């Protein structure tokens, strides 16, 4: 699997759990150094580093989503590269529709940085990452329904206007 292979030599943004003080970390522009940790579960790679330099080559494989430091399992901020209001607002809406989500918001910290942040806080029983994944899945389902209904309506309209 291509993704898995890339993962080996180009570690992703998922940082190892460590007890770095989070308070000084700026919300948007993160230093490229590897010292911002986070305390979310599911971390195995102890020495993952940032990989923003590799953005240029092989644009397919670039990791565009990362957890911002200071996140806990039920309250996390995500940074999306190369996304904007288009996906940000739609995703915020669909995540807010999830009853297990206590809070969800998105922001574009600076208009000249191509970054979009999403903050998700959930109730106990689920995690912010799960809520994000559910949101992305729901958005895909929604798109399928819109496509089907649109094609149906168009067929009906064409049939009605030609008869």
Residues near other proteins (CB under 8 A) are 3, 7, 12-14, 42, 56-57, 63-67, 80, 83, 85-87, 89-94, 96-99, 129, 132-133, 136-147, 149-154, 156-158, 161
Closer of 8 and 24 to other proteins (Cβ): 8
At closest approach, how far in Å is the CB of 140 from other proteins? 5
Tokens of 49: 């580093």
Cβ neighbours around 119 below 10 Å, total: 19
Q: Which of 79, 74, 89, 86 is nearest to 50 (CA)?
A: 79
Three-state secondary-structure class, residue 109: coil
* Residue bearing tokens 């990452």: 129
Closer of 23 and 152 to other proteins (Cβ): 152
At closest approach, how far in Å is the CB of 29 from other proteins? 19
Residue 161 parent element (H or E)? helix 128-162
Closer of 21 and 42 to other proteins (Cβ): 42
At closest approach, how far in Å is the CB of 59 from other proteins? 9
At closest approach, how far in Å is the CB of 91 from other proteins? 8
Cα–Cα distance between 161 and 130 in angstroms, integer? 46
């Amino acid at each position: 699997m291509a993704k898995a292979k890339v993962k080996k030599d180009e570690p992703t943004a998922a940082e190892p759990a460590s007890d770095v003080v989070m308070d000084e970390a700026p919300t948007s522009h993160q230093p490229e150094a590897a010292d911002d940790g986070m305390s979310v579960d599911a971390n195995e790679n102890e020495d993952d580093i940032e990989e923003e330099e590799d953005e240029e080559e092989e644009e397919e494989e670039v990791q565009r989503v990362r957890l911002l430091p200071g996140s806990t399992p039920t309250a996390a901020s995500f940074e999306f590269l190369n996304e904007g209001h288009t996906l940000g607002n739609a995703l915020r809406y669909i995540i807010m529709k999830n009853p297990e989500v206590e809070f969800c918001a998105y922001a574009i910290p600076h208009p000249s940085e191509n970054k979009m942040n999403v903050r998700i806080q959930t109730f106990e029983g689920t995690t912010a990452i799960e809520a994000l994944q559910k949101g992305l899945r729901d958005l895909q389902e929604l798109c399928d329904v819109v496509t089907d209904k649109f094609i149906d309506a168009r067929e009906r309209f064409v049939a009605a206007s030609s008869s």
